[in-house]
Amino acid sequence: MNDEVRSSSSSSPPDTGQTQRRYPERKPGTLRRVPHGIKLRVKTQDLDQSWIARQWLDLIESIASPEMLHEGMVYARSGQTVRYSVEPGLVQGLVQGRSAKPFHFRLQIESFDTALWIKFIEAMAAEAMFITQLVANELPSSVDDLLAEQGFSLVPTDTAAVSYSCDCGREEFCQHITAVAYLIAAQLNREPLTAFTLRGLHGHQVVERLKQTRAIHTHGVAVAHADPMIPESRAPMPPLEMCLEDYWRAGARLSELQESPPPPHAPHALLRRLGPSPLKGKFPLVGLLASVYGTVSESAIQLRDQAEHLNNGDE
């Protein structure tokens, strides 16, 4: 998670039509070496290759001064970060500078409240493509369009939504925080769902809630995952001392379990859970897959019955 892909020799980045960021490089000077420090190893031009990482870097560059951006890049390249963690709404860790001891920092991002998370996940659940992409560790920029309808974005556009502190004593966005901010940008390239964590909810929790909400929207929860049928009332169990003679005997009640009705069958439960396909065509993809599954199932049952007849000696 921490170490990045090793950087190759720098070369002129291809012209992609976007303004290329300039990250000054220089020797670390008198920085104290950190054994096994976390280094930024991606190429400079690849640091903001995803839309979410670009927005994150835009935020950082709007807060930190050019001097701190310069120093922060040197710290990130030199591996001055001892450790850092990304928790809901909070990034914190230790960064070694020129002093004897590393500095502890905290970077807080304003978290979404519960009501906004519910609206956001409900909006994503309306489209099957979102759950497919998030499960594949992809974060489409269209998720930000859904948030924009509520007046928010995954990466804050207002610097007032960001607060920070560092033991180094600087009141500004210092080089220690900036160094880790660059590491976060690289992490967003690799693990874009980290953006959800920065806004207050772990990425895997967003995916799970999205699955549940999507299942409810497609009416797949009750049939695909039927709850066990528990009697509404049960007779009280007799004391243990009154059951010693029959304790190790199964008793007649085991036969009653065979008489319990099985849970209702849910045909094509997986298709029901996924919901309508986002792919367009002459025929609905879900319906075509359901027909294929049905045909394959019937053929398998026929083959099984034929094999049983042969084993029983039937012609």
Q: What pLDDT digit, counting tens, does each position of 187-233 carry?
A: 999 999 999 999 999 999 999 999 888 888 765 444 334 344 334 44
Q: Residue 286 domain-assigned? A: no
Q: Residue 52 domain-assigned? A: yes
**Under a CB-based contact definition with an 8 Å cutoff, are residues 107 and 91 in contact?**
yes
Q: 102 - beta bridge partners?
A: none
Q: Give residue 173's domain range.
A: 44-213
**Under a CB-based contact definition with an 8 Å cutoff, are residues 192 and 130 in contact?**
no
Q: Residue 81 domain-assigned? A: yes
- Quote the percentage of the chain above a pLDDT of 90: 49
197-206, 239-248, 267-276, 287-296: which is most confident: 197-206
Q: Residue 7 domain-assigned? A: no
User: What pTM does this model have?
Assistant: 0.63
Total domain count, the chain: 1
For range 247-270, the mean pLDDT: 61
**What does the alpha-carbon distance between residue 182 and residue 74 come to, in Å, rounded to a whole number?**
10
**Amino acid at position 176, single letter:** H
**What does the alpha-carbon distance between residue 177 and residue 286 come to, in Å, rounded to a whole number?**
49
Q: Residue 133 domain-assigned? A: yes
Residue 14, pLDDT above cutoff 90: no
Cβ within 8 Å of residue 58, ≥6 positions away: 155
Q: Residue 99 domain-assigned? A: yes
